[in-house]
Structure 1
Amino acid sequence: MAYRAIARSVAVCAAATSALGALAALGAGSAAAASGSITWTDGSSQFTRTISDVSPAEGETVTVSTQFARNSIVDEYIYNIKDRHPACMTYVDGSAKMSNGTTDYPYANPEVVADEGNGGGYVRVSFSATNWPVMNRPLAHQSPVFSVQYKVGHDCARGTALTTGMDYGGSLGSGLYPTKGPSITVGKSTSTTSLAPVTDARVGQAATLTATVTGGSAGDPVNFFDGTAQIGSGTLDATGTATAQWTPTVKGAHSLTAKYPDSASATGSQSAAVAVQVADQNATSTVALAPVSDAQVGRASTVTATVSPAAAGGTVELLDGTTSLATIPVDAQGHAAYQWTPATSGAHTLTATFSGRDGVTGSTTTVTVSVADAPSGATASTTTLAAVSGAQVGAATTLTATVSPASAGGTVTFKDGGTVIGTATVGSDGTATLQWTPATAGQRTVSAEYSGAGTVNASSDRTSVVVGGGTGGTGSFAGLGSLSGGK
């Protein structure tokens, strides 16, 4: 039959209309699918449109089907179908199919338009003139059913009736029913909220609170509470995470929760309570540098920093101007000492910075030291650091430095990178040894700094050491060179 482009209008008196589509629940999704169906007639044609769940939740898949039937002996052939859906719902690939009641015929490549610009999209399929005859009702098995599936998206409005419909063209004309329905009302998502553990909380010190929400949207607020008192708020990012800074004012036990309030897309939720023990406020430290009166180019002088309150823990970094000289562990008396060998005369600004330790804040101090020229007639020295092999994490390794001239005396400071390992006295044979227990694996630079003594100037050497992870031997590199007369 020839195609007649005659637009049909929906009959005022439909044969039967189900109100299920209009009565979709407005709650947070449905525990069981609530299908909706509408039947209407247009001339001698009858259409039944069914949606498997008219009140779905975000992420669920709904099936939309339309049955075509005739109550006339005149057959109609369907040429094309355009199934209309809300733009926030996504077509499920491969789901479009036509069924004649006994056999399903998938439609592999429908035309899919996600959004026409009017808040709706469609899936369109076309058939040949001899496919899918719609015959009179007694031959119901020949009344074809077109079905398609959509997935409910996050950006679907909640609690709002979203229209669906369909258009089609056939041998007897065309039918335009873009809002016939049933409508779909997406319920709010059910949210969950969790609060990450909070560690190292301390009075007067900011701690980061981190909440994770499922079901929410980026930009939604999350509020944090200590008991019933709100202590901060944040907004969800794209990963569903919100953070806030909390500075406790009272030590002791605290019970923290995170609350996600009702939003346009999800129901509210609250995390389980997280118990947090807040420690007392950090004690304030001071660090002082003892006067250095004998500083001289090429000779080591002892620089001593004293931390108060005195106790072992933390480190002191010593700088000459902007140059880091060493990082020294603080001992039980609060002292950190270093053998400093100036390379130039004149005024030097020494800075000692205490890192702080558990319960104690950091601090810093600065002094100016006058460095004299090197004495005339001084003797140059050489320091040689023996190659280190077989170093392993957690195992003691002997470091050996040899100073020439051998009878000079003085001390050798050994360093792992910039951190002082310890100091050893140079023996009568010119050697100084120290036990070193590496804490981390990998390639390290170990150095030996000779202090100088009497008329003998300072010198240094360094070597590269490969430290194994504690499961076997590793190689090492030879010394990187002896630096006579200074560092």
Structure 2
Amino acid sequence: MRRWVAAIGAAALVTLGASVVGTPAASAATSATKTTDNIKVTKSVTPGTVTRGATVTYTSVFEDTNAVDRYLNKITDVYPAGFQYVPGSAKITASGLVTGPSTANVTPTVDAANNRLSVSGSWLLADRWLAENKDVTFEVSYTVPPNAQPGTYDSGLRFDVFSFQTTQVFDPIGVHVTVDVPNAATTTTVQVPPTATAGQSVELKALVSPTPDGGTVQFRDGATDIGAPVAAAGGTVTLPWTFATGGTKSITAVYSGAVGFAGSTSAAGTVKVGAPDATTSTTVQAPATSITGQPVHLTATVAPAPSGGTIQFRDGTVNIGAPVAVDDGVATLSHTFGVAGAKSVTAVYSGTTGFAGSTSQPVTVTVGDRAPGDVLTSTTVTAPGSVALGQAAELKATVTPADATGTVQFKVGAGSIGGPVAVVGGVATLSHTFPSAGEKAVTAVYSGGPGYVGSASPPAVVTVTGGGTGTGSLEDIFAS
């Protein structure tokens, strides 16, 4: 009769929610008590705090809360995902028997896909029913996975009351295991260039060891963040950075830490940042015409005059010769075009310490084919190294071969000096008074004659001294 009353009084299904895995609970309770259909169940876990690979034991105690007997037909323990059942650990104990407590080891059914372990069978009915002063205890142990994330892990409990097979569900039940994973110590180092220039990008690098699974690195200049945090994937972090101002920068890298890894801060690296490079402009000079096989002189001028760097002359995108060192802002190259056609000549300045690079606007050299039988010539110019302002200087052009006829046009920069001078015996001379002080680049351009190909000399520099207003710099040479 007591059994029928118990069956009729069986409660409807009670569901308290889904299992929570790896999410911190409001309070990491290690025991919870629920009551339904005059059955009180208390589930507990020991120990409450563990490390990876440890063993935990869940104990569920079922008690009858009135005089009517209750019978359990199935007990299902809902355990945290990833936990592994310890074989042989499942057992049932009945207390309050005349003969004393009765304990039986049982073989459970494990449903790993749903994280459930169940025990059932007629043995629950033999002498392990619930009555006053007669309780049933179910005990089972699990191993915490070696890769468990730190946090709290809830569990659940389900059981069937015999007769109508009513399933009582407490899932989760609020019994938590806290997995404590000590963070591994990390070391962060920073790698920075010893010097940099304001306005020019450099690379900042940080190395985190041992290699973490996550986290970020924040670069800092003193106490000021540099850019945004960068993901520490693979333990190596790089950040392209442009310093806006000069000065000495103290750069550190701060690793945030991640699951299983402690944060760390590097020792400081020093970057000495120089002032921004001065902007330069480059111009190129070349004859408007030439013929194949005839040397021409290409001249590039960089302003303001830098103290180093090179000029690469180009025909379109093709380099002409090797880079030429810049001397007091000027670089000159003698070049012979081997193929006729229009040549787009530019000069590319490489830049140097304190001076930014620059590229000239193109100039066109129209190269024709040399007529059969025409003789190539070469021209040189000589001039005094210095002359006083207002004093006439003798400029001399020598054309080879000496029997070439025609004229020579003397020039200072791109400007002509006087008119064409006849070539006699391979020589042309001009007396010239410079109107201002400074350094003057003098060239001689041979026009060519019957059977002879024209040519141009490299420049000769004349320093004009005295009470003029010239700067004495090659910056004004090609404007003279």
The TM-score normalised by the length of structure 2 is 0.50
Instruction: Give the structure with higher Rg (CA).
Output: 2
